[in-house]
Amino acid sequence: MKPATLVTLNMRELDRLKMIQAVVDMGLKPGRAAERLSLTVRQVERLVARYRQSGAAGLASRKRDTPGNRKLDEGLALRALTIIRERYADFGPTLACEKLRECHGLVLSKETVRHLMTDGGLWVPRKQRPPRIYQPRARRACFGELVQIDGCQHAWFEDRAPVCTLLVYVDDATSRLMVLHFTATESTFSYYEATRAYLERHGKPVAFYSHRASVFHVRNRASTAGKGVTQFGRAMYELNIDTFCANSSPAKGRVERAHLTLQDRLVKELRLRGISTVAEANAYAPAFMAAYNARFAKPPRSPFDAHRPLRDDEDLDAILTWRVQRKVSDSLTVLNDRVIWLLDDTPATRRLIGRYIDVWEYPDGRLEIRADGGAALPCVPYDKLAEIDQGAVIGHKRLGHALQVAQALQAQRDSRRASGSPSRTNRGMPVRAKDRQPGTKKPQEIMQEDLNAAVTDTRWQPASQGRKRQTAAPATLAQPGKPAARQGKLRRADARP
């Protein structure tokens, strides 16, 4: 009888042991055992032979208690850890891994270096670090010294109207609501409207404190011609108002907590008064702010009012605009947001050929072209994305078919404005879609085949002496494979009654 020994098996090896014992002691067929263990018959036979020779210990993995094939050499690990301890003790694992490869020729993965530094006490994993403590920031001392601004998208009208956004301006020193402005979305023009109401009512604060949205913060400096400032930031700079962006939502907790209160109280007040439109809500906002401030506002530590009045030379109409620079072409045209502006042919405008001039767009939709900060230049717009009215198609007898063809092509055209154009939701325009609609093409992608298909699918219906006749246009109209805009005049065999 073999002496009793202690054998360590995992669950999978224990299941194999029971099945192999059934084969040896109970006569279970090796094929059935192979099916239950998901092994081959030959592998089961080898396990049976190993069990008869060594017992349960023969089924234990032979890799146990042996070094792995991929184990890091102890000498290499000690050398790397010594170099890191002497030269790169304050480096992170990624940077230390790069320096070991560049300066010492030690090629190790960054996770290997991370484990070495953790075992050596040179690096603490993030999960093992104590949590950061964010202590509350004391309020500013003066009224108007810092104003926190933010937008909150919420069902303010519940099911009576679509979801909209409320722009909230909160004074940091007193927690007073300074401005409540309902709008469709957070956009530069919407913040212009709210800021204008603030400036006309209270004056200029010292600084605005906002989140890192694209209205206030530039993520891609190339999008602002390297200036690193947004349109809102440029306007506040001209008004001598500082702008700061918070790194987290708790940093601007005054306005964040105001959102929670407004989502409770303001929603119910709008419901009780039957308000369901943005215009009515903006008209009611001053009365609600007065009641809110009387109940929740705090007295400032200092009685000094930090607001400054607007100077006479600070024109809000000119400052609160969207400004971009566009180049004047040789034909005295300026392209902005897929709209071509035709400048008047004068000696003054001819001197602007090849130069960059400013295009100003106002929140109300007006657009002006200015050169060197002077007066607006006279110009005429030509919209490349203009659409034909259905009434025009019906009203023209001879041009009806041509207008129908143009409408068919417009249905295939991607009619989105340029991606860098401002959001115009403050004027009721829809939000620009990120992706174009399926089945649409850019204007330069519409080829002659699309034009031919539109002409073929559209039937010309002339009216003569109370009877109508349909005539199909020929299918072959021009050379295929060329853009439709570069082809000549469209030929059509008009059947005369």
Q: Which residues pair with 242 in a beta bridge?
A: 207
- Give the span between the Cα atoms of 114 and 96, in whole angstroms: 9
- Give the span between the Cα atoms of 362 and 365, in whole angstroms: 5
3-state secondary structure of 367: strand
CA-nearest of 254, 258, 231 to 243 is: 231
Q: Which residues pair with 148 in a beta bridge?
A: 170, 209
* Shared-domain flag, residues 181 and 121: no
- Give the span between the Cα atoms of 482 and 497, in whole angstroms: 34
> Is 137 a member of any domain?
no
- One-character DSSP codes across 265-327: HHHHHHHHTT--SHHHHHHHHHHHHHHHHHHH----SS--B--BPPPTT--HHHHSSEEEEEE
From first to last of its 497 residues, the chain has per-residue pLDDT tens of 456 677 788 888 888 888 888 988 888 888 988 888 888 999 889 989 988 888 888 888 877 777 777 888 889 999 999 999 999 999 999 999 999 999 999 999 999 999 999 999 999 998 898 887 777 788 999 999 999 999 999 999 999 999 999 999 999 999 999 999 999 889 999 999 999 999 999 999 999 999 888 888 887 655 554 467 889 999 999 999 999 998 887 888 889 999 999 999 999 999 999 999 999 999 999 999 999 999 999 999 999 999 999 999 999 999 999 988 899 999 899 888 778 888 988 998 899 999 999 999 898 888 899 988 788 888 888 765 555 444 544 455 556 666 666 667 666 666 666 655 677 777 776 666 666 677 677 666 666 676 667 667 766 555 444 444 444 444 334 444 445 444 443 333 343 33
**Residue 188: which CATH number?**
3.30.420.10
pTM summary value: 0.61
Judge residue 113's burial from the number of C-beta atoms within 10 Å of its C-beta, 0-12 exposed, 13-18 middle, 19 or more buried.
buried
Q: What is the pLDDT at residue 423?
A: 72
> Is 3 a member of any domain?
no
> Is 427 a member of any domain?
yes
The residues, any chain, with a CB within 8 Å of residue 100's CB and separated by 6 or more, are 80, 83, 84, 88, 106, 107, 108, 113
- Give the span between the Cα atoms of 152 and 18, in whole angstroms: 64
> Is 439 a member of any domain?
yes
Q: Which residues pair with 327 in a beta bridge?
A: 356
Enclosing domain of residue 341: 326-383
* Shared-domain flag, residues 332 and 403: no
How big is the chain by its Cα radius of gyration, in Å?
A: 37
* Shared-domain flag, residues 208 and 104: no
Are 191 and 149 a contacting pair, CB within 8 Å? yes
- Give the span between the Cα atoms of 109 and 93, in whole angstroms: 9
Are 409 and 442 a contacting pair, CB within 8 Å? no
* Shared-domain flag, residues 24 and 40: yes
* Shared-domain flag, residues 49 and 160: no
* Shared-domain flag, residues 292 and 343: no
* Shared-domain flag, residues 463 and 361: no
* Shared-domain flag, residues 189 and 79: no
> Is 141 a member of any domain?
no
Q: What is the pLDDT at residue 463?
A: 47
Terminal Cα distance for the chain, rounded: 117
Are 260 and 164 a contacting pair, CB within 8 Å? no
* Shared-domain flag, residues 289 and 153: yes
| Number of domains observed in the structure of the chain | 5
Query: For residue 406, what are its two tokens?
Result: 């143009």
> Is 136 a member of any domain?
no
Q: Which residues pair with 164 in a beta bridge?
A: 154
Are 346 and 321 a contacting pair, CB within 8 Å? no
Q: How many CA atoms, within 13 angstroms, populate the side-chain half-sphere of residue 488?
A: 5
> Is 312 a member of any domain?
no
- Give the span between the Cα atoms of 324 and 317, in whole angstroms: 16
Q: What is the pLDDT at residue 486?
A: 44
* Shared-domain flag, residues 376 and 397: no
> Is 138 a member of any domain?
no
The residues, any chain, with a CB within 8 Å of residue 458's CB and separated by 6 or more, are 401, 404, 405, 408, 473
If residue 395 lies in a helix (H) or strand (E), which one and from where to where?
A: helix 390-395
* Shared-domain flag, residues 278 and 408: no
* Shared-domain flag, residues 249 and 281: yes
